[in-house]
Structure 1
Amino acid sequence: MQSVVITGMGIVSPLGHDVELFWNGLKAGRSGISVIDHFDVSGFGTKIAGQVRDFDPEALFGRKDARKMDRFVQFAVYAAEQAVRDAGLEPERVDRERFGVYVGTGIGGITTLTDNMEAYQQRGPGRVSPSLVPMMISNMAAAQISIRYGAMGPTLSPVTACSIGNTAIGEAFRLIRSGEADVIIAGGTEAAVHPLSLASFGNATALSKRNETPERASRPFDAERDGFVMAEGAGLLVLESLDHARRRGARIHAEVIGYGASSDAYHVVASHPEGEGAFLAMKRALQSAGVSAAEVDVVSAHATGTQVGDLAETIALKKLFGDQASRIPVTANKSMTGHMFGAAGGAEAIALIQSLKEGVIPPTINLDHPDPACDLDYVPHHARQAPLNIGLSNSFGFGGHNAAILLRKAEF
């Protein structure tokens, strides 16, 4: 089996649109949550989100190309550009048939869909864009990246809700490890901070309503947590076989050593209350890597700030680590970014890579009143220095989809 390494990273997030800005924001415990200002939220119970700001697609891609891509695709293409550049990858020198793209999204082109529905209702069928479908459908982020770089290998758009990023990275890892591909751009993207999705999640009572103090709204593991905060962005990685990376003299950020997936088989939106599926995904990631739980140095939690979800993940971590659970630092990036949905796994993988490289664990902010039932070491308030070698990252999604990836510090 091939060893699989990460050579490139790209990010679009509420904390910034390059890895350095994103990472520095996390280390500083800076919140990217603010009052939504790109549409009228006066009639909504929740008025806050993690918004991507200062993103100008026309400046990045030109007016003609930008208008052909929904916002979720724009985020993905720009994150891919960053990742390819960071990897020093010259696509024309890669075997195109062994170059793939695994990039997914949870909600897809909701803005394109609703804009065209409005045009149809107000002005009739002749005003619906012929580009509606190829702009809206979920596979278009992967397709646009594939076209841009001439990647003719397997192209996949996993739809596993909020676990998409880890699913994409994990499945890419499997394909490269098996020897079926050399290079895969993998991760997730999302642009769902939109009136329709805000209304739906709000009516489901899933969202925090701390509108007066948005930077304090996302509160994983806190006793006063009142729901998650919507966010948007993209997080993409370049994965390669170690042999391929070495042949071209690439810098290696980290190694992917394990991946596990599972289903709760329980409920369409609620986590299994005992964390059974989450535990299985983590256990399988360890098994695929051939390492023990005792070798894990840090956990990047899914931790969205919901009452049931955070408790279920805590229970699963206790089951995985047993008596050693209290010694494992667990960090919750969503306390700062909000929940980026399909983009969360890729973004959090980038944060974990940076943690392993620098020996720094970002904090879980807003953990002011720890939930007695959530009693692990969540690295509250301030970043922490620690020797780190192996990190575990969790992503869980609606429908009970669970995906965990295991990363190791580069030693090549």
Structure 2
Amino acid sequence: MKRRVVMTGIGVVAPGGTGAKPFWDLLSSGRTATRRITSFDAGRFRSQVAAECDFDPAAEGLTPQQIRRMDRAAQLAVVSTRECLADSGVDLAALDPGRTGVVVGSAVGCTMGLEQEYVVVSNGGQHWNVDEAYAVGHLYNHFIPSSLATEVAWEVGAEGPVSTVSTGCTSGLDSVGHAVELIAEGSADVVVGGATDAPISPITLACFDAIKATTPRNDDPEHASRPFDGTRNGFVLGEGSAMFVFEEYEHARRRGARIYAEVAGYATRCNAYHMTGLRPDGVEMAEAIRAAMGQAEVNAEDVDYVNAHGSGTVQNDRHETAAFKRSLGEHAYRVPVSSIKSMIGHSLGAIGSLEIAACALAIRDDLVPPTANLHEPDPACDLDYVPLTARETPVDTVLTVGSGFGGFQSAMILRQVA
């Protein structure tokens, strides 16, 4: 019999503020953190807006050596890890390091460090034969995404299962799913799991410009992310990290830990269809949802809130609307649904974990965060997408979903522990 797994600590670095409290304050107030890009001159790009984190690594306690060694994505992960550990109250010294694990998800790894160093060693792209003498000594760490999990493992002192999960935009869901499975199967008692991404860089903007996936609404960045709205025209890039402490239920109960939620079900599927395209019927996402609900032993009517992928593209919004109808039946028309990407953008691999944090806080406060900027609903998206203002309502069981390039479709059920 699988062991129950609960969340006892949350750590967040997100657009709008560092820490779970400012993150939740932003979401529950319906404010947006999207703006014109400030970290570099984005004037030559089609899309020039993003949801940036106002993040100062030194102010957050990272040493000059850590700052030099770590890519921004690793810095975000370590800072959010420190918060989730403090929030959980877990005594690291009392843990068996061999029974303690780490799982970090990321879609694009150390993109910023790699790009910055390429600019240096190639003299701004002028030299085909680059001069490696100008590279930082830790450049190899930027090259391998596993360095993200390594940094977190060092922070935690974990000597059990440690891994990196990279499944595109579902990485933040899939990393948590893997972390939970390690505990459920008995491979670990405590796992620090979550995701991080810092993709706001010229190379990322160029990639999404090429396929016209991001919004060109540069004159109105605060209202540029418009999931499920008929006037939407692409997603807004974001960045951030959310990390959690997961424990076996009895382990958490024995030490008197505060429990945010139980991760009761998780499933993932792939459509094996197209690198960026989605079938309009939402079959694969619907199957992942049904599998997650089956694992959690909940019915559609038990779901009190759906945290949508809600990227703000026509294809995605209609795809998951169909998936909700297919998997939840008539209840899809009654359950509140919302997308927090309307407020903090789409941080690629990190967003799934940031959405899990939002779900846990929604359960804690019985509050559904809104879909900002939803003024003119797409007639094809005819569910209850909680426009503009947060809604107070009992929230005991939450479904959160993710959809990623390559056809990945993931779903997770979180529920309150009585």
Contact 1:57/1:74 (8 A) holds in 2 = no
CA shift for structure 1 position 35: 0.6
Specify the code of the residue in structure 1 equivalent to 2:216. K
Deviations 1:267-316 (A, max 9, x none): 11122321122111111111111111111111000010001011000000
Q: Which residue of 1 aligns with 2:209?
A: 202
SS in 2 for 1:20: helix
Find the partner of 2:411 among 392, 396, 404.
404
Distance in 2 (CA, whole Å) between partners of 1:299 and 1:248 is 31
Q: TM-score, normalised by structure 2?
A: 0.96
How do residues 229-378 of structure 1 correspond to structure 2 at under 5 angstroms? 229-378=236-385
Once the two structures are superposed, what CA deviation does each residue of 1:39-77 show, in whole Å capped at 9, x if it has no partner? 011111111000001423465211111110000000000
Residue 124 of structure 1: aligned partner? 131
Asked if the contact 1:72/1:190 (under 8 Å) is kept, the reply is yes
Q: 2-side partners of 1:350 and 1:374: how far apart? A: 25
Q: Percent identity?
A: 38
- 5 Å matches for 1:39-118? 39-57=40-58, 60-118=61-119
Larger CA deviation: 293-302 vs 272-281: 272-281
Deviating runs (4+, > 4 A) in structure 1?
Answer: none
- Count of residue pairs the alignment pairs up: 411
- Maintained 8 Å contact 1:165/1:186: no
Note the residue ranges of structure 1 that are not aligned, 5 or more in a row: none
1:332 partner amino acid: S
Distance 1:57 1:132 in 2: 21
Note the C-alpha offset of 1:111: 1.9
| 1:8 is the counterpart of 2:9 | yes
* Alpha-carbon separation, structure 2, partners of 1:215 and 1:143: 36
1:134 counterpart residue number: 141
1:373-392 pair list within 5 angstroms: 373-392=380-399
Tell me what 1:213 maps to: 220
* Structure 2: 5+ residue stretches without partners: 124-129
The one-letter code matched in structure 2 to 1:214 is: P
Q: Is the partner of 2:309 in helix, strand or coil?
A: coil
What TM-score, normalized to structure 1? 0.97
CA-CA distance at 1:29 after TM superposition: 0.4
Q: Give me the CA root mean square deviation.
A: 1.2
Partner of 1:19: 20
Contact 1:335–1:366 (Cα < 8 Å) also in 2: yes
Contact kept? 2:336, 2:386, Cα under 8 Å: yes
CA distance in 2, matches of 1:264, 1:320: 16
Structure 2 counterpart SS, 1:379: coil
